[in-house]
Amino acid sequence: MSLDVTNIVESVRQTLAPAGATLSDTWAALIGDRVAGWRIKNAAAIQKAVAAEVATLGLRVDKVKIPERYAITWFEEATKQDEAEIQQLFARLLARAAAGDHDAGDRRHLEILTHLTPKDAAVFHWYFAREDPGIEKMSAEYLVWKSVKEELGEDAWLSVEHLMALGVLERRFDVVAREGGLMGKDAWTASTDLAPTERGLSLYRACNPAVPADAAKD
pLDDT digits (tens, 9 = 90+) for 164-202: 999 999 998 877 666 655 555 566 677 788 999 999 999
Q: Is residue 150 part of a domain?
A: yes
pLDDT, tens digit, 9 for 90 and up, residues 8-36: 555 555 554 554 455 556 555 555 567 77
> Are both 5 and 109 inside the same structural domain?
yes
In this structure, the answer to whether residues 21 and 70 fall within a common structural domain is: yes
Domain containing residue 138? 116-211
83 has pLDDT over 60: yes
**Is residue 216, in this structure, part of any structural domain at all?**
no
Query: Does some domain include residue 94?
Result: yes
Based on the fold, state whether residues 110 and 153 are members of the same structural domain: no
pTM reported for the whole predicted model: 0.76
Distance CA 192, CA 174 (A): 7
Q: In whole angstroms, give the CA distance from residue 105 to residue 110.
A: 10
Q: Give the count of domains, the chain.
A: 2
Q: 53 and 95 in contact (C-beta within 8 Å)?
A: yes
User: Does 111 fall in a domain?
Assistant: yes
Q: Evaluate if residue 218 carries a pLDDT over 50.
A: no
- Domain check: are 61 and 132 in the same one? no
Between 206 and 135, residue with greater pLDDT: 206
Query: Same domain, yes or no, for 109 and 124?
Result: no
On whether residue 29 sits in a domain, the answer given is yes
Provide the H-helix boundaries in the chain.
Answer: 5-8, 10-15, 17-31, 34-57, 68-78, 84-98, 108-115, 118-128, 141-152, 156-165, 198-207
Q: What is the mean pLDDT of residues 72-77?
A: 91
Residue 5 falls inside a structural domain: yes
Domain annotation covers residue 23: yes
Same domain, 96 and 138: no
Q: What is the pLDDT of residues 100-120, one digit of tens each?
A: 899 999 999 999 999 999 999
In percent, the amount of the chain with pLDDT more than 70 equals 71
Quick one: 11 and 108 in the same domain?
A: yes
> Residue 218: inside a domain, yes or no?
no
pLDDT cut 90: percent of the chain above it: 42
Indicate if 122 and 100 belong to the same structural domain.
no
Stretch 135-163: mean pLDDT, rounded?
89
